[in-house]
Amino acid sequence: MRALIQRVAEARVEVEGATLGEIGPGLLVLVCAMQGDSEAEADRLAGRIARLRIFRDDAGRMNLSVRDIGGAALVVSQFTLAADTSRGNRPGLSAAAAPEDGRRLYDHFAGRLQSEGLPVATGRFGADMKVSLLNDGPVTIWMDTAD
């Protein structure tokens, strides 16, 4: 699985003008299931993200996790993280998991983050979403379970 994680002061996701998910301080997690991924990759990625120390401590050092600060996670599916841009001008997306597998792993991942003790808000899998965020730092981290 792949994830692009952004430390945010706030974030929200809308579909057709209705807010589906909204958080204050925490993480916006754009996530993509890849072909061959299973619940094991989703579990590993969720655990790593919950423990990722990218929030400032009292000394101003990035030494705290989202759990440590009492933050939340907004999880948004984004199959374009599977984009292959090595040829031509149109990204290839065939490395992404099939939609039914992607949905299952997206839901599993969000549930696993919640079981890590995080309040979790989500978008809608496969929908045309509008994501708004106030990036804090900015801090943006790329994670891939294949690495």
**pLDDT tens digit string along 8-50?**
999 999 999 999 999 999 999 999 999 999 999 999 999 999 9
Q: What pLDDT, on the 0 to 100 scale, is given for residue 147? A: 84
CA distance 112 to 72: 13
Could you confirm whether 114 is annotated as catalytic? no
Give the domain CATH number at 6.
3.50.80.10
Establish whether 79 is a catalytic residue. Answer: yes
Give the other-Cβ count within 10 Å of 113's Cβ.
Answer: 26
The dihedral sign for the CA sequence 53, 33, 112, 14: positive
- Catalytic site residue from 6, 35, 55, 78: 78
- For residue 109, indicate whether it is catalytic: no
Query: Could you tell me the residue range of the domain that residue 35 belongs to?
Result: 2-144
